[in-house]
Structure 1
Amino acid sequence: MAKGGSTKDQRMRQRLTLEAARILAEEGVKDYYLAKRKAADRLGAPSTQNMPRNQEIQDALIEYQRLFKGDEQQAHLRHLRVTALEAMRFFRTFRPKLVGPVLDGSAGEWSEVLLHLFADTAEEVAIFLMDEGIPFEPSERRLRMDRDVWEFFPVYRFVAGDVTVDLTVFTHAGRRQPPRSQVDGQPMERAGLSVVERLLEPSEPLTGFS
């Protein structure tokens, strides 16, 4: 919580934090800025300048899930991580890295498995998917690479069972410079196969990805 400001402002900031966290958990909204604007509109404070930081909202989101989702959220998180691990093994050639809510533990009902892949060209990933007979949807994503530097990257999305897997493709050089996180603005945390394996119990059943 930011220091300073009136008690009224601090109370509104706390209410905005909790409502934005609830919107992220319950309504399928994935963008923190949009969740904050929705929260401000609903609480009658659309013009407020006292918005919480994204990190405050993520902390509140994790606490909300612990209080109101409990075992259900943890079971779903494990399911997503199992899918992520299977996908990473499947795309091992492209040195996959897990990022986002499935990695940091804030994933909810609408979360997708977000992977970063690395190749000479994005077409290599598209050809791999086609050769494996996996229907996919191509698109692109704008990511912040530095304070004032944004770039577009190719994205391929497909469904594995009941989970959407989202692949953002970088060049091999992109392994050294991850994009910035929307939560804290720092370089995005990425996890390789060994890290994801440690997030799961050794006895976690794997069904095979292909």
Structure 2
Amino acid sequence: MTDLTKTFANLLLHGDTTNAYKLVENLIFEGYTSLYVYENIVRDALYYIGYLWEIDEISVADEHLATGTADFVLTKLDANLGQMLTHEQHERKSKQVMLFCIEGEEHYIGIKMAANVFKEHNWNVKYLGPNLPLEHAIHFANKMKPNVICFSVTVSHHLKQIPTYIKALEQLDYKPQLMIGSRLIDKYQFSHFVSKDTIIISDLEELSHWIKERAKQRDRAKTFN
């Protein structure tokens, strides 16, 4: 972890929204990508804060304050990056994605950053946040019919719910692409929990690559049609 990431973590723990945002804003102005900020600043800072909680250096209240501050920073960054999109880019939003955390899962910053990545690639994003029961996920999917349904799990004891979500969402009539993201992918064999048609995403860089490749395939298809 870099000194900059540790500084950001301390700002989160103090609830310093102003200076936490200034730190990431300065990085963007210096030419760093939002993806770099998400992966190397926000994510790593939150991992560090989680470690401090595990060794009893901070309380649950401290962790909640840090999460809320990170949420504020991401929301503001998303809004400001959105202003940089041209009118043409806004009009091109033809693909829709639905993102959420499974029931009981309260760790939502990762899926919120994934939502931001989709937005920056001009997707129409429906971000439903943490702790979404399966029946509500199905109802919303049937109503909105997103092209991609992306959900997240962070705590290991929630892994047992994944097959239930996958099986139910695969039965949707219009057959969306299912995608799961988790920091647990390196620790567990996710192939045991998901079907062969589910895309497993280990980090935001991999997600960004997938979105870009899908766009290229779509452009090639348009060329030959």
TM-score by length of 1: 0.32
| Higher RCO (C-alpha under 8 Å, 6+ residues apart) | 1
Normalising by the residue count of structure 2, what TM-score does the alignment of the two structures yield?
0.30
Query: Which protein is richer in helix relative to its size?
Result: 2
